[in-house]
Chain A
């Protein structure tokens, strides 16, 4: 591998560029480029669609150059230009073929609109040339970024990423900032009707680049105010102030964000609830559960059956039914746990997958229609109330979700650092040894399943109350996959990872409606990229510093192995 690269670096770089261009072609043909062509990053200048077919070329060129590591700057730039040109050729071939043959018979997205985007709105020949030039420039840009010193390079990459993100999230940012009085005007000046204004983009880029550049120069240890992982080293006062500030912000979010964004937050928090539960089963105890939606369904249906006047002569209120739903979920967790106690790995995954489907099919079946409503589902489910206030808008339900997530996260946190949490992790690491240490694997596994089921069930009850109805088709396998994906993306076994994962996987697609269509394509790509680049997840679990005090003891560093080594050498 390595020697081959050294023999023909030019060939390698060119192949990488071609691959980048081919990825661009693929994304064009599946329709992502067209879908995002109206979403401007920089208003009137640069759309997300263009980012989608140009970014692969830039990335592939950069990685290829990094792999080859050419000696001189001149070579770096030329290689970048070559890679970019190769990528441009791949895209150009699509344009040419598209002009000669009607591709739309096979690829529904290979439309005139797509060709216009690829040709940057120009006629065929000038468009083709512009495409080649822009792609080549992209490759050259990759080379330039590579040449820059590390500190500046990181800063610029961050700047580019942030400009893209801020441009994409324009709607959210503008909505949030409208009530910030004088600041609102400032933010409105940065943004156009879609994306950033050119000046806004320059400002954001300069600001972010400057911040990252400055931060990289700071000594390690006092890097960031926002780094919660370091918060254990701070004084309790600052920690409590931080926590207090976060709580206040969380409480104020719905009125600030408005209806649409509150709704998105609710979806995100529902998945956070489920993610926290599955994180215990998969992340802590290492039991791969692919039928996790079952418990969500059981929670939702229990709530439905108990509170809906359709099925029940004496319907309960939400709060009366909640304890029953919780108990039913815990029992269901134990029932699933019992037969799979001896199974590991693949077998466990398959059985749990089956369990999830069984629950959905039972809910759908005619056999249970009198009790569960069959494909019609259950309507008129009770809405929860706090005091006299019935929580029936999305903004009010937000608080219910918030309380749920708060309690569940607290429990998960406490359990992780407890004796039970340790036994879960020990089972995950080496079941035979853990059992030999006196851990009862039956109760330990059942506890994990039951706790996970409980959290998911709570999510289910709120979901039922939110929609006031449940249907079997909302309990499908993809829910399980979503939850599992968000744990993997966030970081297995990491509680903050669940939050980050839910925000990224559930929040972003909702914010960018164009994504919805390509959600699973993006998930797949993201999961693969994560496994290759950052297998530990976006926010991996930071291990507590249990032994902080001991490690500061002056004697510790001198002779870690003293007791054993030095005293008795004479014997």
Chain B
């Protein structure tokens, strides 16, 4: 059984069936991608995993423990952290402060400690700060800790958001379209970076991604959602040749004609 297991997860918004009986099994130390056309339910699924939504049916297990319906902060403490489709950094705080907020669950000092700055607080803050700098270096933002998050370039903001997510020491990291709006070279960088997350930190990555080139190169396994249903699952090669997937992206007529073209579907977004 994998790190994250979803069983029959179902989420409705009024009459809209956003997720219908989704099953998912993410193996430890792997990169798992969820793809699908716009409105397929990918982000809804992320929100169910991270506790922003509570699914109506089904259950979600992290390391065998049921996390269905837990509040977002509890889910974070259990070891899942995420980034957002539209970057949601704390804009008027510095890069280091953003990361320090990410470490929040691991820090203890309170109101009194903050005022008195006793030895324990100072030591904790120093260590946290060192750790934040280490994370900044890891994501390639060395020396930019004092920059306001809002004044960082776009790609750097994406990486800072990941650094903030890493600060809570997650087992599982959910990345919601990490390469959205990036140019090819930035995208390439991000691909290597996601690999490093898996290889160097041993983190399991669950990914929503639209750029097919990215998905096909880095994913160990891929699920395809369409209208809230999982229509396919498998390795990159399986998915590329799956007629259901091509149909979902390009329509019924295209399914017979386009067999193996791997980059075509990205035109669909």
Contact = CB atoms under 8 A, between A and B. Distances in A.
A137 to B, nearest CB: 44
A560 B107 contact: no
Nearest to B51: A436
B173 to A, nearest CB: 13
Contacts of A429: 89-93
A436 B82 contact: yes
Interface stretch (B9-17, B32-40, B143-151): B143-151
A560 B141 contact: yes
Given A436-B72, A546-B146, A547-B133, A420 B114 contact: yes
B198 interface: no
B143 A436 contact: no
Contact of A568 (B96, B101, B137, B192): B192
A193 interface: no
B93 A425 contact: yes
A434 B84 CA distance: 13
Contact of B146 (A420, A551, A560): A551
A234 interface: no
Contacts of A557: 143
Given A419-B109, A433-B84, A560-B141, A543 B114 contact: no
Contacts of A550: 133, 142-143, 145
Interface string B48-76: 00111000000000000000000111011
A239 interface: no
Contacts of B51: 436
Given A433-B88, A435-B73, A547-B133, A415 B195 contact: no
B94 A546 contact: yes
Contact of A437 (B71, B104, B138, B139): B104
A437 B75 CA distance: 9
A487 to B, nearest CB: 16
A418 B114 contact: yes
A457 to B, nearest CB: 16
Contact of A543 (B111, B121, B129, B148): B148
Contact of B73 (A426, A428, A438): A438
Nearest to B149: A429
A438 B105 CA distance: 6
A536 to B, nearest CB: 10
Nearest to A438: B105
Interface residues of B, number: 59
Interface in A524-571: 543-548, 550-551, 553, 555-557, 560-565, 568-569, 571
Given A414-B115, A547-B133, A551-B143, A437 B76 contact: yes
B215 interface: no
Contacts of A546: 94, 96-97, 129, 145-146
B227 interface: no
A564 B195 contact: no
Given A414-B117, A436-B76, A547-B143, A564 B168 contact: no
A63 to B, nearest CB: 28
A316 interface: no
B140 A561 contact: yes
B262 interface: no
A439 B104 contact: yes
B114 A419 contact: yes
Contacts of B146: 543-548, 551
Given A426-B93, A436-B50, A565-B189, A560 B104 contact: no
A562 B141 CA distance: 9
Given A415-B111, A546-B94, A551-B143, A423 B76 contact: no
A430 interface: yes
Given A418-B109, A419-B109, A543-B94, A438 B104 contact: yes
B118 to A, nearest CB: 11
Contacts of B109: 418-420
A422 interface: yes
A411 interface: yes
Contacts of A544: 146
A437 B117 CA distance: 24
Contacts of B110: 419-420
A422 B133 contact: no
B102 interface: yes
Q: Which 5 A-B pairs have the closest CB atoms?
A: A418-B114, A547-B145, A556-B143, A438-B105, A429-B90
25 contacts: A418-B114, A419-B107, A419-B109, A419-B114, A422-B101, A425-B92, A429-B90, A433-B88, A435-B73, A436-B75, A436-B76, A437-B73, A437-B101, A437-B105, A438-B77, A438-B104, A546-B145, A546-B146, A547-B133, A547-B145, A560-B142, A561-B140, A563-B137, A564-B139, A571-B192
Given A425-B93, A426-B104, A548-B146, 8 more contacts: A414-B117, A417-B114, A421-B114, A438-B77, A438-B168, A546-B97, A557-B143, A563-B142
